[in-house]
Amino acid sequence: MIRHIEVRTGTYHDSVTLMQVSQAIQGEDGVGGALVAMATQLNLDLLGGMGFDVPDASPNDLVVGVTADDDAALGRALGRLEAALTARPSAGQGGFGAAPAPRTVGSAAGRDAGTIAFVSTPGPHAFADAMDALQHGLHVVVFSDNVPVEQEVRLKREAHDRGLLVMGPDCGTAVVGGVGFGFANVVRPGPVGIVAASGTGAQQLLSLVDGAGVGISHCLGVGGRDLSARVGGASTLAALDLLADDDATEVVVVVSKPPAPEVADAVRERVEKLGKPVVLALLGPGQPDLTAVAETVVAAAGAEWRPPRSWPSTAPETGPYPSIRGLFAGGTLCEEARLLADAALAPGGHTFVDFGDDTFTLGRPHPMIDNSLRVERLLAEARDPSCGVVLMDVVLGHGAHPDPAAELAPAIVRARNVAGARGRDLAVVVALVGTADDPQGLEEQARALRDAGASVHLSNAAAARAAIALVSGGAG
């Protein structure tokens, strides 16, 4: 195997671009792994974990690490790298005398008749770009994470004063008039509008509602902290008002991880005055799970509910299964599973980790793009005799890994073999979040994961209950 590493001094590309570049390289035949990222300490540590000699580089440098089977595969990977990094418009495109490409959000707003700006610069720098967009009359999707909360409050106050909407920071998913931002599933147009202080929670609702044959007008992501006491639901309230005035939206749903109680009260008060039916999906003890919410939304839209599909595991279940390990890419899906387990099981070493949390994504690809951390943890759990069931989510859609089952299915087989060599059975349960039209192929992903020995469920709540049943002595 060839290990290629290089440092490009003083070269910057935004995180979304680098996520897409890493995806493109990993799709080449003969490429075992690739990391294209800014040389933050976390990314340098990741390179070391991949077996590279860690280079001397600063966070302002671009670092490229590729493992390949041979010189030909490495050549294809590097060719794909150059093509991907140079594919964006440059000042020289457009012919002699063409205007240079805009270098700020404000200059772009002055040139084009757009209504939404998408900001994906590093968290410490996102505030300036988002404020620039607001001051030029644009709604803003702030994909960037690690934005200080005091800056989020200032941005949303500015947006309120200007009658605009800030989606984010850390807005992983939004769909506006059929156009997806960040990690977005392919959904049909229709009457349901979503306000989401949650990325994967929104994707679960998008997928379940679309799977029941009901379309989406808009999904307005507001950032995971919006319903905190500090932020006060500023963007949630603004998004509700926008959907109230939108003729295409007939039913509204609000999804969030557990909100601050006083903010939840403010949302309920606004909902009562909205003039449209609103379904609240504010996760917490005793609250409906997202699948139950989706069923309510579909009924409110006048359609018949279609229970989400599942694919039973092809592997025999022998047990006993002492405890659950939740290895999640989505924070809301992780929280939903934890709430269900807490309600059903006595304490017993069950753990749930959100690998999409800011502490894991600082300077590195999101786990919906790069499964390496979760694969490492899966194999570690396979060696741990106290672990009986691994519960994972696999999220499809634009922006996500082009073929997550290609990475995870072999890892599941290997993990089950590692556990089997130690005389125990490891059960794997997967929540597969996606629609029939997502580019990865929902059916193909489900079959590949099932054939690797996992049981697969389109409902995250159903997957969590299957895992709970296994450790409770039932069938999954």
Return the pLDDT at 247.
97
Smallest CA-to-CA distance from 396 within 186, 181, 216, 192 is with 186
- Per-residue pLDDT 10s for the chain (476 aa) are 899 999 999 788 876 678 778 878 987 889 988 889 888 877 788 788 788 999 999 888 999 999 999 999 999 999 999 988 887 544 444 444 445 556 677 666 666 657 899 998 888 889 999 999 999 999 999 999 889 999 999 999 999 999 999 999 999 999 999 999 999 999 999 999 999 999 999 999 999 999 999 999 999 999 999 999 999 999 999 999 999 999 999 999 999 989 999 999 999 999 999 999 999 999 999 999 999 999 999 999 999 999 999 999 988 878 779 999 999 999 999 999 999 999 999 988 899 999 988 777 766 678 998 898 899 999 999 999 999 999 999 999 999 999 999 999 999 999 999 999 999 999 999 999 999 999 999 999 999 999 999 999 999 999 999 999 999 875 54
What's the pLDDT at 206? Answer: 98
Domains and CATH numbers, the chain: 2-85 (3.30.70), 105-300 (3.40.50.261), 310-471 (3.40.50.261)
Instruction: Decide: 201 and 281 in contact? Cβ < 8 Å.
Output: yes
In this predicted structure, what is the pLDDT of residue 46?
Answer: 76
Are 363 and 38 spatial neighbours (Cβ–Cβ below 8 Å)? Answer: yes
Give residue 10's identity as a one-letter amino acid code: G
pLDDT of residue 259: 94
Query: What confidence score (pLDDT) does residue 93 get?
Result: 42
Cα–Cα distance, 303 to 212 (Å, whole number): 8
Q: What is the pLDDT of residue 101?
A: 59
pTM of the predicted model as reported, rounded to 2 decimal places = 0.82
Helix (H), strand (E), coil (C) string for the chain: CEEEEEEECCCCCCHHHHHHHHHHHHCCCCEEEEEEEECCHHHHHHHHHCCCCCCCCCCCCEEEEEEECCHHHHHHHHHHHHHHHCCCCCCCCCCCCCCCCCCCHHHHHHHCCCCEEEECCCHHHHHHHHHHHHHCCCEEEECCCCCCHHHHHHHHHHHHHHCCCEECCCCCEEEECCEEEECECCCCEEEEEEEEECHHHHHHHHHHHHHCCCCEEEEEECCCCCCCCCCCCHHHHHHHHHHHCCCCCCEEEEEECCCCHHHHHHHHHHHHCCCCCEEEEECCCCCCCHHHHHHHHHHHCCCCCCCCCEECCCCCCCCCCCCEEEEECCHHHHHHHHHHHHHHCCCCCCEEEECCCHHHHCCCCCCCCCCHHHHHHHHHHHCCCCCCEEEEEEECCECCCCCHHHHHHHHHHHHHHHHHHCCCCCEEEEEEECCCCCCCCHHHHHHHHHHCCEEEECCHHHHHHHHHHHHCCCCC
**What is the pLDDT, as a whole number, of residue 95?**
42
Structure tokens at 38: 């800014």
**Tokens 């070493």 belong to residue:** 349
